[in-house]
Amino acid sequence: MIPAVSTALSDRYRAGKRLWNLGDDALMIARYPHEPTKQIATALRRTTTAVSARAGKLGIRKSAVYLASPAACRLRRGDQVGVVTRFPKGHVPLNKGLRRPWWSRGRMQETQFRKGTRQGRAAAIYKPIGTERISKAGYLERKISEALPFQRRWRAVHLLVWEAANGPLPKGHAIAFKNSDRADVRLENLECVPRRELMARNTVHTLPKPLIETIYALGALTRLIQRKARADAEEQDRRST
């Protein structure tokens, strides 16, 4: 027979994790601003990462007095923190005057990859500028650049079509499809609308009433299933403890 677990213990341990309680938070508020994080972690039997994360949630920071003290280990004028690891003035690097790493008397330079060369997987998935694809959201996109970051290499074709005729898209606006067909990127099918108006068009209240009721019912059922799953998991944790 499994012994009953006290409410205090079950509240403190859930899903294998030791939760924070009011006593822990009180200690954090009293000591964290004035002491090293490692000391607080030792007192609470937690990691420094967990203590720092909890301090962020509680909205507490190190005090100005602590940050100005040697315990903060910050570089300050007049003290010796970090001196032993600094390069002294006039230091000569050990590799000064030596050949660069890519130079060799042999054939190494001949067999190195040239700048811009693609091999293996990079060559297999490479797409030249002008290539078009369908995004996960269903929009037709075109590759317009080789620059970084990768996300900027592709742009929606309907935006390119509209901007070619009208100039840059105004701030706070979006391009909508008049016939709701995202594959139809003809200029006459595109219109520039404020994002607030576009949001109003896409709201659930524009749908037929039976469909709205179905969406609400499905959402309520999903939330009920999630609550039941969480309750079962907590009950299983109590029994295993």
- Note the pLDDT tens digit of each residue in 2-47: 344 444 444 455 555 788 999 999 999 999 999 999 999 999 999 9
pLDDT at residue 65 tops 70: yes
Gap between the Cα atoms of 220 and 173, Å rounded = 33
pLDDT at residue number 129 = 94
Question: What confidence tier does 177 reach under pLDDT thresholds 50, 70, 90?
Answer: very high
Which phi and psi angles does 175 have, rounded to 5°?
-100, 125
Encoding tokens for residue 202? 């896409």
Which is it for the CA torsion 77, 79, 82, 88, positive or negative? positive
Whether residue 53 is predicted with pLDDT greater than 80 in this model: the reply is yes
* Residue in 139, 183, 192, 184 with CA at minimum distance from that of residue 165: 192
Measuring CA to CA, which residue among 108, 115, 146 is closest to residue 130? 146
| pLDDT value of position 106 | 66
Rounded to an integer, the average pLDDT of 220-238 is 87
Taking residues 150-168, report their average pLDDT.
94
User: Can you tell me the distance from the alpha carbon of 21 to that of 217, in angstroms, rounded to the nearest whole number?
Assistant: 37
- Residue 167 confidence (pLDDT) above 90: yes
pLDDT digits (tens, 9 = 90+) for 97-151: 777 666 666 666 677 777 777 888 888 889 999 999 999 989 999 999 998 888 8
Residue 82, phi-psi category: left (phi > 0), alpha (psi -120 to 50), beta (remainder) = left
CA dihedral 161, 162, 168, 170 (to 10 degrees): -150
DSSP3 helix / strand / coil % (the chain, rounded to 5): 50, 10, 40
Q: In the 8-state DSSP scheme, what is residue 88?
A: P
| Structure confidence at residue 11 (pLDDT) | 46
pLDDT for residue 13: 52
Q: Is the pLDDT of residue 77 over 70?
A: no
Residue 134 is predicted with a pLDDT of: 94
H/E stretch holding 66: helix 64-67
**pLDDT tens, position by position, 182-205:** 999 999 999 999 998 888 877 877
